[in-house]
Structure 1
Amino acid sequence: MDKRANDRDRVTGELQEAESGIVEKRIHLKELQRQRDFSQKKKADLDKQLQAKEAELSAESSQLEAQVRTAYTSGQQERIKLLLNQHDPEAIGRLMTYYRYMSEFRGENINAVNNHIAELTELRQQAAAEENRIAGLARARAAELAELNTAQNKRQDLLATLKAKISEEGSQIERLAAEEQDLARLIAELTSILSDYPITSEEPFSGFKGRLTWPVVGTLLHDFGQPRASDQLKWNGVVLAAPRGREIRSIYHGRVVFADWLAGMGLLVIVDHGEGYMTLYGYNETTLKSAGDWVAPGDVIATVGDSGGQQQSGLYFEIRKGTKPVNPRRWVSKQPKTR
């Protein structure tokens, strides 16, 4: 029996490691996607600038071409003839000023064309660099997806092994009971520690009974008090089925006192609301808060997942008064959808 129990614990530890690795890869994938979206937006902006600069260069080039053609057609002799045929000194002065302005204007156009060519060259280089960056991010994302797929396959193998170990022992109830005891010990330890650091509020948590909202929109999968595996164990909270990655929000003001992996719960976040009340959010894909962080109602603290060896994505949600679970349904204003 001890050997089987040790084997089961070993597989559970491997499952924790595998799920933690999957979490890291999903976070990395989201960051890669964020960078890729940013680069694609930057590339689109650069393309717009290129189009605008090309239009300006075309206009400047056309104007300069017309000036050069005019100068070539009239030729330098035309200017000399005009000057020799003028007997009025003031008229000659005006003509000289006109030709000087025309020459300066033509020089300015040449400079403008050269500047636009330089700007276009720089923009094309930036666009090419951004395109290379996007391609690199795409390759990194593909590699990360392949690693994620491998990690998920390993997780499935570990789940199958764990299920087989439990089946061999015929001890699913024992395992669930052990996991429940682990959670109870954790809550007792936190309650003892937090008694020295009480949370005070002008609007205590107890005053919002029946007025809170669910931490995530989902469908009720398991209800508080329902039998779990057998009549010996019951659900201490509710399980809401929801798509992977959906945001999970804190239901009230409080302080995060736990954000880590726990057997049976997967990635778990516990928030202390004062008066001995705590809310628990389990099975998460990612945790977005750390122990010690303060949260307000509606703050995103995690995302929906299937960690802890769950067969489908969802949220495990529980409310405790001290070490005693209480029915979450009595604390919310609306009841969840049922299947």
Structure 2
Amino acid sequence: MKFSAYAIAALLSALLFAPACFAQAADEEQQARLAEIKQRIETLQQELNQVKSERDQLLKDLEANEKDISELLQRIDKIKSDMQSRGQKLQELKQEEKQLEESRRSMQRRVEQEVAAAYRLGRQEQIKLLLNQQDPQHIARQLRYHDYFLKQRSRVIDDYVSTLSELETVSSGIQREQDTLARERDQLEDKRRALTSAQQARQRTLDKLATQLASKSGELDKLHGDRSRLQRLVDEVGRAIANLINPSDQTPFAKQRGRMQWPTQGRRANAFGQRRANGITWTGVTIRANEGNPVQAIHRGRVVFSDYLRGQGMLIILDHGDGYMSLYGHNQSLTRAIGEWVERGDTIAKVGNTGGLSHSGLYFEIRRHGKPQDPTAWCRG
């Protein structure tokens, strides 16, 4: 069978663009699945957060308080970062202004000298040279020298004018940066006052909750509820991500057993499987750490949950493929969103005390197919 040149070209074009089309279709399918995950999680959270008692309402109030605090802290960090960048730029502009001012003074002296020289020679320098009774070749040389000095004088004056213009631009830039910094300082103070108010509201809610949970049965009910919510979330996420495609070049999580770093520096307050005073065993490890310390991903993975969960506070979950997930709870704030890929060591959150903790720390779990694993078997040190 013979093919025309046009048919062959069309076939080659189809073969070349087919992988790109398939890749685009696969990416769109992945995005659609991620959107579906978000929707399923939102539906589950609405169910888990239903108010059934006064304690449930207090927990809902606590969630609102802690979300407000987390958002305010993120805004404060953003303003501080902006202020730091502007402060650095302001210093650079001031240094540039200083250098330009030095150049301006130097150039001004040169301009004054050129003006004085021009005044001494008068306005008819070339005519005077021509009228002098001298050798024509000597006159020609003198005229060339004279022309050179005129051009040099013009360049000196042009450079001086240009420097004055640059200096004016830099001075205006300094004023703008100073005005912006002043506004950002005001915004920072406003956010700090709002943060203080939100923290006071959180403490009032915690005091009311403490009264509700004064009995052992009340505390036990809360712990059972917290564990049940977390398990339902993990199960739902596991089902939702079952069909997501992971990169083929990713190092399997299982091969990193015993080689990974802990997600943050601090003292481990409990052991995996340790019995608590109320009879419930720990399914993860709490790491006591300073508020605001970075929380880092223990292995490459995709964010499949990044939100508040009652009992866990600001929680982020990473999917590492092959049924493995890592969970990081009680954070002050979260820095990654659902669908984002993170590398080992990337900062994904900041240590906090959300979820009603009285101290700051990170709650950390590793799970496989929804079942808790001992983190000490996976992380070094």
TM bin, normalised by shorter chain, reads 0.7 to 0.9
Q: Does 1:227 align with 2:275?
A: yes
Picking from 255, 263, 288, the partner of 1:207 is: 255
Alpha-carbon contact 1:86-1:92 (below 8 Å) kept:
no
Structure 1 residues 297, 94: closer, same or farther in 2, change over 3 A? closer
- The runs of 4+ residues in structure 1 deviating greater than 6 Å are 77-82
**Equivalent in the alignment of 1:63:** 110
**Equivalent in the alignment of 1:337:** none
Q: Distance in 2 between matches of 1:172 and 1:55?
A: 72
Q: Does 1:145 align with 2:192?
A: yes
Picking from 73, 78, 95, the partner of 1:31 is: 78
SS at match of 1:251: coil
**Equivalent in the alignment of 2:366:** 319
Instruction: Flag structure 2 segments of 5+ consecutive residues without an equivalent.
Output: 1-50
Shift of 1:31: 1.2
SS at match of 1:307: coil
Structure 1 residues 73, 293: closer, same or farther in 2, change over 3 A? closer
Structure 1 residues 85, 326: closer, same or farther in 2, change over 3 A? closer
Structure 1 residues 112, 229: closer, same or farther in 2, change over 3 A? same
Amino acid at match of 1:291: I
Q: Deviations over 1:50-106 (max 9, x none)?
A: 122112211211112122223434556998777655343333333344333333332
Picking from 196, 199, 204, the partner of 1:157 is: 204
Picking from 321, 333, 339, the partner of 1:292 is: 339
Alpha-carbon contact 2:129-2:143 (below 8 Å) kept:
no
Amino acid at match of 1:212: M
Alpha-carbon contact 1:173-1:229 (below 8 Å) kept:
no
Amino acid at match of 2:60: G
SS at match of 1:285: strand
Q: Distance in 2 between matches of 1:112 and 1:50?
A: 16
Higher strand share: 1
**Paired residue total:** 330
Q: Distance in 1 between matches of 2:140 and 2:301?
A: 85
Structure 1 residues 192, 91: closer, same or farther in 2, change over 3 A? closer
Amino acid at match of 1:327: D
Q: Distance in 2 between matches of 1:5 and 1:123?
A: 63
Alpha-carbon contact 1:280-1:317 (below 8 Å) kept:
yes
SS at match of 2:261: coil
RMSD of equivalent CA atoms = 2.5
Shift of 1:216: 1.2
Structure 1 residues 37, 85: closer, same or farther in 2, change over 3 A? same
Alpha-carbon contact 1:212-1:333 (below 8 Å) kept:
yes
What is the correspondence of 1:167-186 to structure 2 with a 5 Å cutoff? Answer: 167=214, 171-186=218-233
Q: Distance in 1 between matches of 2:122 and 2:234?
A: 96
Structure 1 residues 272, 110: closer, same or farther in 2, change over 3 A? closer
Instruction: Flag structure 1 segments of 5+ consecutive residues without an equivalent.
Output: 335-339
Shift of 1:167: 2.1
What is the correspondence of 1:33-182 to structure 2 with a 5 Å cutoff? Answer: 33-73=80-120, 75=122, 84-167=131-214, 171-182=218-229
SS at match of 2:213: helix
